[in-house]
Structure 1
Amino acid sequence: MPTPPITPLSVLDLSPVSSGQTPGEALRSTLALAVAAEAAGYSRYWLAEHHLNTGVAGSAPHILAGLVASATRTIRVGTAATLLGNYRPLQIAESIGTLAAVFPDRLDLGFGRSGPPKSSGEPAPRVVPPAGSAEAGPADRVIDGLLVPAPRPIFGAVLPRKFRLQGELLGRFPGDTDNFENDIQDIIGFFTGDYRTKHGEEVTATPALGQAPQFWIHGSTAGPSARLAGKLGLPFGANYHVAPAGVLDSVAEYRSHFKPSAALQEPYVIVSADVLVAPDERQAHRLARGYEHWVHGIRSGHGAIPYPSPEGALEVSLDAEAAELVKDRVDTRFVGDPHQVRDGLRTLQRAIGAQELLITTIAHDPADRENSYQLLAEAWGL
């Protein structure tokens, strides 16, 4: 009987900055990790986009993607995700087209829809009612062995001032996410040569023309991103590591709207997971310290802090309210020895029906992060 194919594993890297580390050191760690991930058999190396966070150096994914592609030879390189409202479509096409021309058949371009609300009084993006409130949905559930936690609020009731400032500095405006579908169509059109202005004029975007990357759409809810990925027949990136409460609904929405395309005949899902592997469970949980503090910085609206050391994390404990805010993230992180994490990820894959898994790992010491990916690759059979 033939051995079934091994489900691909890929990497999502935020270029985290640890306490005592400079952003330059964090970015060089990203390049070293990319080389190691390629050698270990990972399929893709994707870069996130975050701004105004002291604990994250990954704010320019298109530039960093070029550096990663230069440092590696075969692994696919891309973004997860390029936040469209932060750029004009032509800028994205030219930037990624430049990389695709130099590194043909290796570039992935993931689209993300994050942006400001239409008015200052509207809820922040992705806000869900706090667990236990009158408006809250179901409690924590276990579905096919997978923990699907109750929703938690993200950023509180209204988008924090820091994120509004980020939008202002990037030239965002309320409601600009309404252009999401048109922007994607324009970007694809620049690569295929089908772009036309509203007056019917042809535009050639050199060097994008004829150098199309693989296009993806990423989403956290059963909302516009999931539906658009299905409508356009593109692969979908489902977000378990940041928004685990909505992952099953988002994937179901994508599949229910899927239409075959030239790119894809059947739905294709990659699902993200936050992972930390060590040689034994006790060591893994020691290295995992500090994660809840780091997530709380994001969830509270202050931004990611430099990632604490295991010893430093013990000096300050989160209070009950803060711990509740990040409980879903902590509970859905896969931490343990290689076999424990492997089995947990198999459960995630089965419950989602995913064709691929996207692994993100954060640890204070870059060597521990690299070792985690190596141990997982070996246990998975890459």
Structure 2
Amino acid sequence: MTSLSILDLSPVPSGGTTGDALRNTLDLARRAEEFGYHRYWLAEHHFAPGVAGAAPAVLIALVAAATSTIRVGSGAVQLGHQTALAVVEQFGLIDALYPGRIDLGLGRSGQRNREMAELAAKTPPPPEPARIVDGLLIPEAFSFASFANSPIFALYGSLLQQPGAQSPDFADQVDDIIALLAGTYRSAEGLAAHAVPGEGADLELWVLGSSGGQSAQAAGERGLPFAANYHVSPSNVLEAAEAYRAAFKPSPILTEPRLIVSADVVVAEDDDTARELASPYGLWVRGIRSGAGAIPFPTPQEAAVHEWTEEDRALVADRVATQFVGSPPTVAEKLRVLRDVTGADELLVTTITHDHADRVRSYELLAAEWAELTG
């Protein structure tokens, strides 16, 4: 049976507060454990008025304290903004209190930001047209070039790092984390360093990625599990999965590849209700892709009065088209297709609605339908 897990962005609803969002996260985590979800991952986002998850290690500790059995982790720590030692110490501390339940998911944010800025200065190749692969929509790729060129993008990058700091190579940071956890770290001069807490922590290490680039390569070459983002970059999900498997080498951690694939999902009792609940999603994505950051998630009524331009629609088209929305059978079937086409061993679903009760109900309905479909 393919497990279902949850990625929570701790969304702030329109008219709500950060405190509301965090209390909702703790409640949803408890309910997710009751519903039988395998993992509960917390995302890291910055400068987003509508997302409360800026410090995943802090929130992971709170969620672990509020639950008993569900695995809790990061989806993902933005490694480009922290040192390997800081990450190992943070997660080692949490593991000391909740051993055997904590996942450390690593993302390549700082390095990707630099690459995006470099790519923005070049003429991009023409995008591949949208296509259907065995029932799964692979949309035309979205270009982040205009966002990478924006002054606000440069400001955010500067505020996330110390003045003059440069992020190390992502693969080198992953190696440092592995070594610090194992107690085998040595400097270039041969000096040993030991992370306390952290060394010997029983963490499950994951790499997350949105393409077939360095993240997929680093995960595969080190024999680590990998999470590919259909919900963030749906056009690249097959490339990411294929690159990971092609690079995979057996390790003491895994003898064969292990892949999670993510998806945006909204489930309700019927298709029409689900579409109504999901209707603000495009407006929310627009805030992210315009560079302003995720806005507090609107009500369907607030979203209905937004005047869309063709530019707006193009900005969010791939994300809206690949959100799985509908009744339990409708969405479970779409997830089955995603699983089969990507070969995913596990699916990571993220659901955002304005009302917390609708979000909890979406996860409840999906868990029951998925168990029936795959049990």
TM-score greater than 0.5 by the shorter chain: yes
Asked whether 1:123 is paired with 2:119, we answer yes
Q: What is the CA deviation profile of residues 274-321 of structure 1, one whole-angstrom value per residue up to 9, with x for unaligned ones?
A: 000000111001111110010011111111111100111111132111
**1:138 positional shift:** 2.0
Q: What is the CA deviation profile of residues 201-225 of structure 1, one whole-angstrom value per residue up to 9, with x for unaligned ones?
A: 2222112111130101111111011
Query: Structure 1 counterpart of 2:311, which letter?
Result: E
Query: Structure 1 counterpart of 2:50, which letter?
Result: G
| Pairing of 1:354-373 with structure 2 (within 5 A) | 354-373=344-363
Assess, with a 3 A threshold, how the Cα gap between structure 1 residues 345 and 120 changes in structure 2: closer, same or farther. Answer: closer
Match of 1:194 in 2: 184
- Distance in 2 separating the partners of 1:18 and 1:330: 19
**Which range moved further: 35-44 or 135-144?**
135-144
- Distance in 1 separating the partners of 2:72 and 2:63: 7
Match of 1:274 in 2: 264
Aligned length: 371
Give the match's secondary structure for 1:270.
strand
**1:118 positional shift:** 4.4
- Distance in 1 separating the partners of 2:213 and 2:230: 15
- Distance in 1 separating the partners of 2:147 and 2:256: 38
The answer to whether the 8 Å contact 2:119/2:145 transfers is: no
- Distance in 1 separating the partners of 2:47 and 2:147: 21
**Which range moved further: 146-155 or 349-358?**
146-155
| Pairing of 1:235-274 with structure 2 (within 5 A) | 235-274=225-264
Match of 2:40 in 1: 45
Give the match's secondary structure for 1:267.
coil
Asked whether 1:114 is paired with 2:109, we answer yes
Query: Structure 2 counterpart of 1:196, which letter?
Result: R
Match of 2:127 in 1: 137
- Distance in 2 separating the partners of 1:172 and 1:250: 31
When the two structures are superposed, what TM-score results if normalisation uses the length of structure 2? Answer: 0.95
**1:170 positional shift:** 1.5
Q: Which runs of 5+ in 1 are unaligned?
A: 1-5, 130-134
Structure 1 moving runs of 4+ over 6 Å: 172-175
Q: What is the CA deviation profile of residues 128-177 of structure 1, one whole-angstrom value per residue up to 9, with x for unaligned ones?
A: 95xxxxx3232110001100001122362634322322221121689945
More helix by share: 2
**Which range moved further: 261-270 or 168-177?**
168-177
Assess, with a 3 A threshold, how the Cα gap between structure 1 residues 367 and 155 changes in structure 2: closer, same or farther. Answer: farther
- Distance in 2 separating the partners of 1:233 and 1:158: 32
2:157 to 159, 167, 172: 167
**Which range moved further: 210-219 or 73-82?**
210-219
- Distance in 2 separating the partners of 1:107 and 1:118: 30
Asked whether 1:310 is paired with 2:300, we answer yes
Query: Structure 1 counterpart of 2:33, which letter?
Result: E
- Distance in 2 separating the partners of 1:165 and 1:215: 31
Q: Percent identity?
A: 49
Q: Which runs of 5+ in 2 are unaligned?
A: none
Assess, with a 3 A threshold, how the Cα gap between structure 1 residues 157 and 308 changes in structure 2: closer, same or farther. Answer: closer
Match of 1:156 in 2: 146
Query: Structure 1 counterpart of 2:218, which letter?
Result: L
When the two structures are superposed, what TM-score results if normalisation uses the length of structure 1? Answer: 0.93
The answer to whether the 8 Å contact 1:167/1:173 transfers is: no
- Distance in 1 separating the partners of 2:123 and 2:325: 26
Query: Structure 1 counterpart of 2:263, which letter?
Result: A
Q: RMSD across aligned C-alpha pairs, in angstroms?
A: 2.0
Assess, with a 3 A threshold, how the Cα gap between structure 1 residues 214 and 25 changes in structure 2: closer, same or farther. Answer: same
- Distance in 2 separating the partners of 1:327 and 1:172: 36
